[in-house]
Amino acid sequence: MSLLAKARLSLALMISPGDLKGIVQIGLIIVICGLPIAAVLARQSSPITGIERDTGVVVNFVGVTSTRQGVDASGYPYLYGIRLARTGAIVFVNGKAGELLAVGSQVSVERQQRKNGAETYRLLES
C-alpha cells in the first residue's frame, strides 16, 4: 500500500458517522444562508436596460452608520426618503457627503430599470 493510500485510509477512519452528519449539516446551513446573499449580489450586478428622470421631494433622511472615515463602506453617508412627483411612491436613495438635503427640498432622481426587473434610483446633480 502506497503512502498516499495509507494517508487517505487514515483520514477516512478518523471521520465517524456522527462527524459526517455534522459536516453535512454545516454544509447545508452554509448553502441555505449563502443563497439569499448570492441573490442580492446577482440583483445588484444586473445590467441597466432603461433610464428615466423624475423629480421628487425629500420627506426624510437617515445618517448611515459611520466608519473611521465618516461614511459607510459604499461612500454614501445619507439615505434619503424621496416622494416621487409622478407616482407619489416613496423611494430610498443614497446621498453623497457634503450634499445634505433639507426635508422638503425638490430633487431630481434617475430611475434605472435593470435586466432582472429590479429598479434602482440615484440622485442627480442639481
- Predicted confidence at residue 59, as pLDDT, reads 93
Whether residue 120 has pLDDT greater than 50: yes
* CATH for 61: 2.40.50
Q: Kindly state whether residues 35 and 57 are assigned to the same domain.
A: no
Class of residue 68 by CB neighbours under 10 A (exposed 0-12, middle 13-18, buried 19+): exposed
Q: How does pLDDT run across 8-65, given as a tens digit for each residue?
A: 776 766 766 777 788 888 989 988 888 888 777 766 677 888 999 999 999 988 876 5
Cell numbers at 31, concatenated: 448553502
Q: Kindly state whether residues 34 and 52 are assigned to the same domain.
A: no
Q: Kindly state whether residues 59 and 113 are assigned to the same domain.
A: yes
State the residue for C-alpha cell 424621496: 82
Q: Kindly state whether residues 59 and 116 are assigned to the same domain.
A: yes
Give residue 11's domain range: 3-44
pTM of the model: 0.55
Catalogue the E-assigned strands of 1-126.
48-63, 78-84, 90-95, 106-114, 119-123
- Predicted confidence at residue 72, as pLDDT, reads 45
